[in-house]
Amino acid sequence: MDNGGCEHTCMNTEGNFSCSCNSGYELDSNGFNCSGKSLFTLIDVPILFFTDVNECLIGNGGCEHNCTNTAGNFSCSCDIGYSLDNNLLNCSDVDECNTDNGGCEHTCTNTVGNFSCSCNPGYLLEENSFNCSGQYLFIHCSSLYFCM
């Protein structure tokens, strides 16, 4: 019995026959012989079938502000003035005044998503929005000894 010419298994079908191969082998193009799958192919399969899910497309990935899709994962980030909470989803206002008085020379006032500087009475906020300079008082004098 020549096994129908099949190297491994011959399967009889009505009026015909076909060859099949043992597990781990695949049928050659001639329809009779079997050759072992290359190790490369076996390793490559899970990579070929790997498709990333873009979690950001559904409900922004649960991120309160910005969602960034990555291969096999995703991450949330926050707008300027906010920091990511421990749950890695929500964003909280940064109290800039806690660090170096927010850079303000006099008074720092924290706001949601921002902060602002202000100056003590008699001082004006400079154009850089951080420093304070002495206010110029214009006194009208009609003479050296009489000012109003």
Pick the closer one to Ca ion by CB: 115 or 132: 115
Distance CA 123, CA 125 (A): 7
In the block, which residue shows the tokens 């980030």? 77
Pick the closer one to Ca ion by CB: 74 or 119: 74
Q: Which of 4, 75, 93, 130 binds Ca ion (CB under 5 A)?
A: 93
Q: Does 101 bind Ca ion (CB under 5 A)?
A: no
Residues 128-147, one symbol each (x = binds Ca ion by CB under 5 A, - = not), give --------------------
Site for Ca ion in 60-79 (CB under 5 A): 69, 74
Using left for φ > 0, alpha for ψ between -120 and 50, and beta otherwise, residue 62 falls in left
Closest to 55 measured CA to CA, from 45, 65, 66, 68 = 68
Q: Which stretch binds Ca ion (CB under 5 A): 28-36, 86-94, 100-108, 139-147?
A: 86-94
Which residues, 6 or more positions from 116, have their beta carbon under 8 angstroms from its beta carbon? Answer: 108, 109, 129
Which two three-digit tokens encode residue 58? 């559904």
Q: Which residues bind Ca ion (CB under 5 A)?
A: 52, 69, 74, 93, 110, 115
